[in-house]
C-alpha cells in the first residue's frame, strides 16, 4: 500500500517536471521568436517589492522607459504562460491592462509579467475613496469601458471567469482596465 502511494507520488512529480519543462521551453521559444519581449530586470528601476499578493502571484512596482509598471511575479510557469497567451490575444483593446513583456526576478528567478501600472488602483478601492465625488456620468462611462473590454475579450473567444471589482483597475485618467487573466478560459 505504501509502495503504491510512493509510486503514485513519483509519477505525479515526474509528470509535473515534464509539464514545467515544456512550459519553460515554450517560454524560451516565445522570447527567441520575439512573440514575447524579455525585459532585463536591470532595465527596471525604483522597484517596490511585495506591494500586493493575489491568488496566482505577487505584485511589485517599478519604472521602465519612463513609465510606472506593475511586475506580476508568477510562481507557476504554466499559469504564467496561460496568462501571457491571453494577454497577447487581447492586447489591442483600450480597456485591458497593457502587457509589455516578461522579466526574471533577480532573487527567486521566477518569471514575472511586466504590465501597465494603474495609478488609481482597483475599482473597489476607487469607488470607496471617491464614491461621493463620482457623478452618474462617470459611473456610466466606467460601466461602458468595462463592458467594452469584456465585449472585446468575448469576441476573442476568451471568458474571464474571475471578473470582479479587484480585477478592474483605474488608470491615471480614470479609465477602467480589465486585468488578471489567470483563470480565463478560451
Q: Which residues are catalytic?
A: 162
| C-alpha cell belonging to residue 113 | 509579467
Gap between the Cα atoms of 24 and 4, Å rounded = 30
- Whether residue 116 contacts residue 75, with contact meaning beta carbons closer than 8 Å, is answered with no
| C-alpha cell belonging to residue 140 | 456610466
- Whether residue 170 contacts residue 120, with contact meaning beta carbons closer than 8 Å, is answered with yes
- Which residues neighbour 172 within 8 Å (Cβ) at sequence distance 6 or greater? 118, 119, 120
Amino acid at each position: 500500500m505504501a509502495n503504491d502511494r510512493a509510486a503514485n507520488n513519483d509519477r505525479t512529480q515526474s509528470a509535473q517536471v515534464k509539464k514545467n519543462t515544456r512550459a519553460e521551453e515554450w517560454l524560451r521559444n516565445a522570447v527567441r521568436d520575439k512573440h514575447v519581449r524579455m525585459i532585463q530586470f536591470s532595465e527596471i528601476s525604483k522597484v517596490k517589492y511585495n506591494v500586493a499578493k493575489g491568488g496566482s502571484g505577487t505584485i511589485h512596482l517599478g519604472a521602465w522607459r519612463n513609465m510606472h509598471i506593475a511586475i506580476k511575479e508568477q510562481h507557476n510557469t504554466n499559469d504564467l504562460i496561460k496568462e501571457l497567451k491571453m494577454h497577447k490575444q487581447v492586447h489591442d483593446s483600450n480597456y485591458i491592462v497593457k502587457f509589455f513583456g516578461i522579466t526574471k526576478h533577480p532573487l527567486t528567478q521566477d518569471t514575472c509579467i511586466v504590465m501597465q501600472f494603474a495609478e488609481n488602483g482597483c475599482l473597489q478601492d476607487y469607488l470607496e475613496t471617491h464614491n461621493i465625488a463620482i457623478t452618474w456620468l462617470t459611473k456610466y462611462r466606467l460601466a461602458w469601458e468595462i463592458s467594452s473590454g469584456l465585449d472585446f475579450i468575448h469576441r476573442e473567444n476568451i471568458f474571464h471567469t474571475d471578473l470582479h471589482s479587484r480585477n478592474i483597475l483605474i488608470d491615471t485618467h480614470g479609465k477602467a482596465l480589465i486585468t488578471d487573466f489567470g483563470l480565463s478560459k478560451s
